[in-house]
Amino acid sequence: MVSSNLADWEREKLKRFWDPSKKLLATIRAYQQCKKSSRLVAFFYSKILVIRHRFWSVISGAEIPLNSNIGGGLLIPHPNGIVIHPGSYVGVNCLIHQQVTIGVSRSSNKPPVIGGHVDIGAGAKIIGPITIGDHVLIGANAVVVKDVEAYSIVADVPAKVIGYTNQ
């Protein structure tokens, strides 16, 4: 079973030249490393990375901010239409399919917190100040607006628990 605590960086490695989602993630990771550095070279390189980020965002069709808080080992097989709020937290070794939105609601400005090794199906929406536990499976087109405990399988609109994964 994939860990929910330890990032599997092999999942983010480039395996071929044209892989927009992995290039976008690599750009975000490099930008965040530059922001930690106080060297002048890092400052100028971060400006180049902003341009690269915009390029790969347009090519991939994903809206993942440079200052996002994403754990290692993220997989995005089809990045088209993915929107992640900059304040959201996405744990390690997660899988996000196309057309997923992770954001805030009108009533609260707090973004979701997603645990480690969470698989999010195509078209799912995770909205509001909620917490998704580790090893959760979120079905396609589910709308999650309430907390989900670890090892749950959720689906439907609004999302409800339909089963549990093996612990």
| In the chain, where the domains are located | 9-164
> What percent of the chain lies above the pLDDT cut of 70?
99
pLDDT of residue 108: 87
The per-residue pLDDT for range 3-47, each reduced to its tens digit, is 888 889 999 999 888 999 999 999 999 999 999 988 899 999 999
pLDDT at 131 over 70: yes
pLDDT of residue 166: 81
Question: Which range (2-16, 104-118, 133-147) has the least confidence?
Answer: 2-16
Report which DSSP code applies to 113: E
Integer Cα distance of 13 and 24 in angstroms: 12
pLDDT at 119 over 80: yes
Residues 6 or more apart whose Cβ sits within 8 Å of residue 102:
83, 84, 85, 88, 90, 111, 112, 114, 126
Q: What is the mean pLDDT of residues 100-119?
A: 94
pLDDT band at 167 (very low <50, low <70, confident <90, very high): low
Distances (CA, A) of 36 to 23, 56, 67, 88: 20, 22, 12, 20
Domain 9-164 has CATH 3.40.640.10: no
pLDDT band at 127 (very low <50, low <70, confident <90, very high): very high
